[in-house]
A = this chain, B = another copy of it.
Amino acid sequence: MLRIALIGAGRIGQVHARSVAAHPEAQLVLVADPFLDNAQAVAAAYGARASDDVDAVFTDDEVDAVIICSPTPLHVPHILAAARAGKPALCEKPVAMETAAVENLRADLEGLDPVVMLGFNRRFDPSFRHIHDQVEAGAVGTLEQLTIISRDPAAPPKEYIAVSGGIFKDMTIHDFDMARYFLGDIVAVSAVGQNLDPELADTGDFDGVIITLINAEGHSATITNSRHCASGYDQRLEAFGTKGALFAENVRPTTVRYSTAEHTNAEDPYLDFFLQRYEAAYSAELSEFIAAITEGRRPSPDIEDGAAALRLAEAAEESARTGQVVRLN
């Protein structure tokens, strides 16, 4: 029974708390949050201890592993603390807001050989994962063109966007990781940005982007993002290859279809909250973290995957601003 501590009792922390409680081989033992009330609320629901002393978690003998759900600027120090304490860590994405910070982290971790998994949850979505594994097994021949549609139900508040690091780091980061999951290392990035929502005009950030990525073999990934989608959380993917194609359709709450004189076979709107949409993914992600620890192997994705996605976000921003393809080596 793996004893797990949770750092950060916010929205995403609560998702992980429930997953841990439901997991047959793990136990939630400690919830730490500077806001003690929050820590206590989550801890009570699953029979764990609560604390407002985050630093003490890393030296707690009754904690075998940590899940880091602190604010992004604390990810690097918390990963480092866990590594120095020898405790495996599952850290929410992104590692950091700047590539430079990740490089410093990498230097600090040298010699520590830490077990760190990064929370790119979409790799664990049953549909995306199934397509990935089928592609690896040759189901579409050579994968030539990956098409990702990824739209949020609605834009976050302007205040959030102002500190989000921009759409590429805040939203597309998931799609960059998905592209790498399928295509491996990317060598060229071409991006176009849109400013369509007048409400968001003065954020200076794009609210729609289209990015084309190319890997060393010339295979492409095209990502289309929008900050809004009337039908809900729009998350589709098409893997097109020489022998066929695999598609992931959106997820809906029921399988109901409705026909009238006006239309036929109308389906439900898409699930419109990412925690619902990726509920199965979060649970599978935790299982991989626990399995990797138990079996003594490296979990994946890791910090290097986080660093690579961040580099793509920076390259896309540059391409969208200059109108020039950005080449990576």
Residue of A188, A190, A224 most packed against chain B (CB within 10 A): A190
Tell me whether A254 and B220 are in contact in the complex, defined as CB-CB below 8 angstroms, given that A144-B208, A259-B245, A265-B266 are known contacts: no
Give a binary string over A290-329; 1 marks a CB under 8 Å from any B CB, 0 the rest.
0000000000000000000000000000000001110000
- State the interface size on chain A (CB cutoff 8 A): 71
Is the CB–CB distance between B324 and A208 below 8 Å? no
Query: Closest approach, in angstroms, between the C-beta of A217 and any C-beta of chain B?
Result: 8
Q: Does A28 sit within 8 A of B, measured CB to CB?
A: no
Residues from chain B with a CB closer than 8 A to the CB of A268 are 263-264
User: Which of A8-16, A102-110, A125-133 lies at the interface with chain B?
Assistant: A125-133
Tell me whether A267 and B269 are in contact in the complex, defined as CB-CB below 8 angstroms, given that A145-B210, A226-B145 are known contacts: no
Is the CB–CB distance between A259 and B242 below 8 Å? no
Q: Can you show 24 pairs from A to B with CB atoms below 8 A apart?
A: A24-B45, A142-B196, A145-B224, A145-B226, A188-B192, A190-B212, A192-B214, A192-B325, A222-B224, A228-B242, A229-B245, A230-B244, A230-B259, A231-B261, A243-B261, A244-B258, A250-B255, A250-B264, A251-B255, A258-B263, A264-B268, A265-B265, A324-B324, A324-B325
